[in-house]
Amino acid sequence: MIHFVLLISRQGKVRLTKWYSPYPQKERTKVIRELSGLILPRGPKLCNFVEWRGFKVVYRRYASLYFCMCINQDDNELEILEIIHHYVEILDRYFGSVCELDLIFNFHKAYYILDELLIAGELQESSKKTVARHIAAQDSLVETAKEQASSLSNIIAEATK
Amino acid sequence: MGSQGGFGQSKEFLDLIKSIGEARSKAEEDRIVLHEIETLKRRITEPDIPKRKMKEYIIRLVYVEMLGHDASFGYIHAVKMTHDDNIHLKRTGYLAVTLFLNEDHDLIILIVNTIQKDLKSDNYLVVCAALNVVCKLINEETIPAVLPQVVELLGHQKEAVRKKAVMALHRFYQRAPSSVNHLISNFRKKLCDNDPGVMGATLCPLYDLITIDVNAYKDLVASFASILKQVAERRLPKSYDYHQMPAPFIQIKLLKILALLGSGDKKASEQMYTIIGDIMRKCDSTSNIGNAVLYECICCISSIHPNPKLLESAADAIAKFLKSDSHNLKYLGIDALGRLIKLSPEIAEQHQLAVIDCLEDPDDTLKRKTFELLYKMTKSSNVEVIVDRMIDYMININDSHYKTEIASRCVELAEQFAPSNQWFIQTMNRVFEHAGDLVNPKVAHNLMRLIAEGFGEEDDTADSQLRSSAVESYLRIVVEPKLPSTFLQVICWVLGEYGTADGKYSASYITGKLCDVAEAYSTDDTVKAYAISALMKIYSFEIAAGRKVDVLPECQSFIEELLASHSTDLQQRAYELQAILGLDANVATNIMPMDASCEDIEIDRSLSFLNSYVQQSIEKGAQPYIPEGERSGMTDVSSFRSQELHEVSSHALRFEAYELPKPVMPSRVSPIEQSSSNELVPAPEPSYHAEMHQVASSVPSVSDTGSLELKLKLDGVQRKWGRPTYSSAAPSTSNADIPKIQNGAPQLDAVSSSSSKAVSYDSRRQQVEISAEKQKLAASLFGGTSKSHKRQSSGSQKVPKTNIPAAEKSHVAKNATSDTAVLERTPQPPPDLLDLDESTVSSSAQSLDPFKQLEGLLDLNQDTSTLTTSDASASGAPDVMSLYGETTLNVQSGGVPNLLPAGRDEANLLSGLAGTPNRDGHGENTVTNPTQQLNKGPNAKESLEKDALVRQLGVTPTGQNPNLFRDLLG
């Protein structure tokens, strides 16, 4: 099971956090600090795994962004590494060659996508296409909802003029 | 889609993100966020906020919380937003509550009603959004409120809904198994769902269920095997392929399940052999995901009933992992080796050098994994080397979690395999010295007991030798600063019992040392108690031996200090010591006999010698004793006393209720106690005295209770891996192999292969420059290099197929001499352009590192604004270029719009940068580079567009981070 997902930049700035196991706010800050100290200084040729508090943290670096996932001792590290990549590929498809700025400004969208990929700390969908389709459906629904809302407010504005 | 349509947020929010991005320190960031919190607190409570505005506030709250600050003041607004009918707002509300709230938060009760409503919605996307929240927030109490609806949704026409319903039910099962026990059959049904996504999701709960109760699912073995077969044969839709592997994530999950089902079950395992073999053959070992599946296969093979053929292919796969250059694969190889070693211990020997390389690798993760492997393969022949290494490593780590683990492993191995008492004591001393606070106190008691009992052998001289060597080593260690408390207790106890036993050290020398200890650790009452008890023993031994006791001045002041101590325990010990000092030899021998800590002691548990006294008191009108069971709830002296023992140093009043009295541990009271109380030596009250002695001798009594688990097991050392003859078997098996070879393969062939093998081995050895030291280490770990040579060559002869790896190896060795072996051996990057191969990762990092080195230059550039010079040098040095890019960006954010086009050029170059060092650094990428760069073309363009867009919005990237615009995948 995945306990949490973290996106940290090379400077240690948090870009996204998702907690599947309960961690109080104070603990979260501590975890992030500890893990940035552990992961960010690691050289490029070393393992993509670190042992931490009896768990394993799998991380992967894309440009200047680190994607980290914390898993149990008996989970398959390489699989998690590929789940991270799977997520990045989906992000890439969604944003169109994704870069860190996309995630900085659209972090809520990154959350929506993550929710389609992982649920309760387990991989729920391994088909890129299915995830993409689902997200697209949500987006279009939101668009229509927005339009309706704006037309509604127009009507109201008209009426109250 | 995506960012091209603008970021959709207000200028204010973009400014916030921007300023956070540019914050140079955590403190600055905190200041900005706190200011933002103030703003939000004010704004969010204003009346009549437009909904769109509110939505943005909620997202800003999410952002604040993500940065580690408390946004709880806004939770209620997020909850309110979930009630909105507009899906647009509802979705935001749901996202926010899943991020804000934990499952036990009070506000959840306010969402349940909305969730119930949304689960019934006609719009399947609304249902999905609600199910996401269900998975995160529904707790044990609220499960019944949504359970019927979730079960109903298992049959929903949309597969996305079914899938999420399965996951929600799984979550319920994890939370409160009893609430969904009657619904478990649904998971079985969903395994046959038409949609592969639903089927894949169902594997998660099934895996959990099978972990708990394997036998209930044995009937599904054939189904799982056939699903796995279909998946491997690409029967699933193409969209489930990942890097040319057919649905690898589902394969891995299935392999995990099969590993559980086949464990210790021959019949079930036989149904899996074919498909696992097929998968192993088909696996693409050049991609990460292929190796992930391969690794899962090995795990499965090592878990199910063993099959020689599969074991062999697993061993081959492990060999490939270990020979790989990727640390990840090496790590997995070591892990897999640890799993397989239980079934075929001999495979470790083939990889001894690889293992030692990993042990000496600078990568900590790999090192730890290797220690785990060593721990698994420890036997009496190599325990000294392994434990030694472990302790050396343990000394230098800070992570207390891991330190505890490795310390306890050292102790466990030492206790199980110790070759000699001497070694054991030395090892324990080292463990205590460096991790004394982290090991179980039982271990300390065991050590004291061991020194006292001397392994229970009859040889008294050996025992006393052991003791004097222990005393000597402790006298050496005790002067070192900052020893852990547990270790000091052991030291004090041993010095007290045996410090003067062999007559080598005078009493005053030992007592002086003990006083030093007590003084140096004057805050630790337990150590002081041990020290004064040790003093008492030494003095009474002196008295018993008829020597005159001269109490050193520092001892005298120590005793006086304790006489006035706040701790009654210490005070009592001090008074007792004073009393003993006034006794004659005869009495002293009785109170403190030499080396009596292990004597068996008869206990008069009914305290019959007090009967007459009790009788007398009752006659005088005292209350009769009420047995413990009858006065529950009453404060009782024994619980108070045990409390006292534990919290010697705390004198404050307790405000919480006292614990119920625990049955007092049967402690051995020495016969002297009785004699002392019977013979009425001028001593304090008898009960008091008994207690004191219990404390002093608590060591053996405690270790007694723990001895069952932690006792030294010196017999049957080889039992550990179930092959009792293993340690002596290695040479005999290799002997047994040789005739087989002669029967099987033509003599000539065997000779030639073995000679070529030897050559390749030698050349490889030269190449890697295996030092004699390493060889020696290998020999001590794996039992002799010469033997291993034999084993390796015999291994290569045994099966003709293994000639191929041998040839490969020589090939590798040849390459290695031409200095390119390292590059040659890296797996070719897979054709999928998106995949970030290991080498490109490293090169992109390399392009960064010089940049970092040049960071100092940046300030110079900024200060003197010699932009043109850096421009001139730009064509030559790409690293400087990136610096320049950064500078201009900075300047621009400072408000110089003219430079904008220049900035764009920079960005363009920046994106091209990634490839440059590749060509410079490694030759091996030249083939793949053009294609990569081709791929990068449009990406660069897009990132330029993005760049421009961001600039229009007035948000400039941070000066620190030129990579912001780099595609994550580029």
Instruction: Give the pLDDT score at B963.
Output: 57
More reliable by pLDDT, A84 or B386: A84
Domain boundaries of chain B, sorted by first residue: 378-431, 441-591
Return the pLDDT at B192: 87
Residue B300: C-alpha distances to residues B196, B201, B323 (Å): 23, 20, 22
Distance from CA of A145 to the nearest CA of B (A): 6
Q: Of B176-185, B241-250, B451-460, give the lowest mean pLDDT range.
A: B451-460
Say which residue, B323 or B723, is predicted with more confidence: B323
Cα–Cα distance between B394 and B427 in angstroms, integer?
13
Residues B256/B300, Cβ–Cβ less than 8 Å: yes
Q: Evaluate if residue B758 carries a pLDDT over 90.
A: no
Judged against a pLDDT cut of 50, whether residue B794 lies above it is answered with no
Contact A44 B402 (CB under 8 A): no
Domain membership flag for residue A94: yes
Question: Looking up tokens 């794996």, which residue turns up?
Answer: B782
Is there a domain that residue A131 lies in? no
The alpha-carbon gap from B445 to the nearest alpha carbon of chain A, in Å, equals: 27
Q: pLDDT band for position B600 (50/70/90)?
A: low
In a domain, A143, yes or no: no
Specify whether the CB–CB gap between B87 and B126 falls below 8 A. yes
Q: Are A72 and A80 in contact (CB under 8 A)?
A: no
B567 has pLDDT over 50: yes
First and final C-alpha spacing in chain A: 57
Q: Please, which pLDDT band fits residue A89 given cuts at 50, 70 and 90?
A: very high
Most confident of A82-91, B645-654, B747-756, B778-787: A82-91
CA atoms within 13 A on the CB side of A129: 9
Beta-carbon separation of B957 and A98 below 8 A: no
Beta-ladder partners of A71: A2, A56
Q: What pLDDT was estimated at residue B259?
A: 93
Of A9, A109, A2, which Cα lies nearest the Cα of A63?
Answer: A9
pLDDT at B873 over 80: no
Cα separation, B558 vs B23, in Å, equals 57
Pairing assessment for the beta strands A2-9 and A65-71 based on DSSP bridges: antiparallel
pLDDT of residue B400: 79
Query: pLDDT tens digit string along B208-257?
Result: 999 998 898 999 999 999 999 999 999 888 888 898 889 999 999 999 99
Within 8 A of B328 by CB-CB distance, chain A residues are 47-49, 77-78, 81
Q: Are residues B884 and B906 in contact, defined by beta-carbon separation less than 8 angstroms?
A: yes
> CA separation (Å) from B784 to B8, B380, B793?
69, 14, 14
Whether B852 has its CB under 8 Å from any CB of chain A: the answer is: no
Q: How many domains does chain A have?
A: 1
B530 CB contacts (<8 Å, ≥6 apart)? B488, B489, B492, B493, B496
How high is the pLDDT of residue B943? 65
Distance from C-alpha of B903 to C-alpha of B890, rounded to nearest angstrom: 10
413-442 in chain B: CB under 8 A from chain A: none
* DSSP helix/strand/coil, B66: helix
Q: Is the pLDDT of residue B477 over 80?
A: yes
CA distances from A85 to A8, A128, B785, B845, B969 (A): 15, 11, 42, 18, 9
Share of chain B above pLDDT 70, in %: 64
- Domain assignment present for residue A139? The answer is no
The candidate with the shortest Cα–Cα distance to A130, out of B155, B238, B249, is: B238
Question: What are the two backbone dihedrals, phi and then psi, of residue B819, each rounded to the nearest 5 degrees?
Answer: 70, 0
- Measured in whole angstroms, how far is the alpha carbon of residue B26 from the centre of its chain? 29
Does B508 lie at the interface with A, CB-CB under 8 angstroms? no
Mean pLDDT of A27-47: 90
Residue B839 pLDDT grade (very low, low, confident, very high; cuts 50, 70, 90)? very low
Residue B887 has pLDDT above 50, yes or no: no
**What is the chain B residue with the closest CA to A150?**
B52
For residue B342, pLDDT over 60 is answered with yes
> Is residue A158 one of the residues assigned to a domain?
no
Tokens 């070591």 sit at which residue?
A: B334
Residues from chain B contacting residue A112 (CB–CB below 8 Å): 91, 95
Whether the predicted pLDDT of B727 surpasses 80: no
A 10 A CB-CB count for A154 gives 10
What's the pLDDT score for residue B731?
Answer: 42
Does residue B202 or residue B377 have the better pLDDT?
B202
A58: domain range? 2-126
The residues pairing with A58 across neighbouring beta strands, listed in sequence order, are A49, A69
Question: How much is the average pLDDT of B310-329?
Answer: 90
Partnered with residue B619 across adjacent β-strands are none
Query: Which range among A29-33, A155-159, B308-312, B329-333 shows the weakest confidence by mean pLDDT?
Result: A155-159
Mean pLDDT across chain B: 72
Q: Which amino acid is at B865?
A: S
**Confidence label for B815 from pLDDT (cuts 50, 70 and 90):** very low
Q: B436: left (phi > 0), else alpha (psi -120 to 50), else beta?
A: alpha
Mean of the pLDDT values across residues A128-140? 89
The CATH number assigned to the domain holding A111 equals: 3.30.450.60
Residue with tokens 């707790």: B139
What number of C-beta contacts closer than 8 Å exist between A and B? 255
- With vertex at residue B775, the alpha carbon angle to CA B771 and CA B781, rounded to the nearest 5 degrees, is 145
pTM check: above 0.90: no
Q: Which of A141-150, B642-651, B854-863, B932-941 has the lowest mean pLDDT?
A: B854-863
Q: Which residue has the tokens 């009043």?
A: B653
pLDDT at position B764 over 60: no
**Among the ranges given (B132-136, B251-255, B550-554, B721-725), the one the predictor scored with the smallest mean pLDDT:** B721-725
Q: Could you tell me what percent of chain B has a pLDDT over 90?
A: 18
Do residues B98 and B136 lie in contact, with contact meaning Cβ atoms separated by under 8 Å? Answer: yes
C-alpha distance from residue B235 to each of B247, B354, B833 (Å): 10, 39, 25
Q: Which residue has the higher pLDDT, B728 or B476?
A: B476
Is A48 within the bounds of a domain? yes
Give the pLDDT mean for B714-726. 42
Higher pLDDT, B114 or B431: B114
ipTM value: 0.93
The yes-or-no verdict on residue B719 having pLDDT over 60 is no
Residue A120 inside a domain? The answer is yes
Q: What pLDDT digit, counting tens, does each position of B23-39 carry?
A: 888 888 889 999 999 99
Asked whether residue A40 is domain-assigned, the answer is yes
Q: Does A83 touch chain B (CB under 8 A)?
A: yes
Contact B373, B334 (CB under 8 A): yes
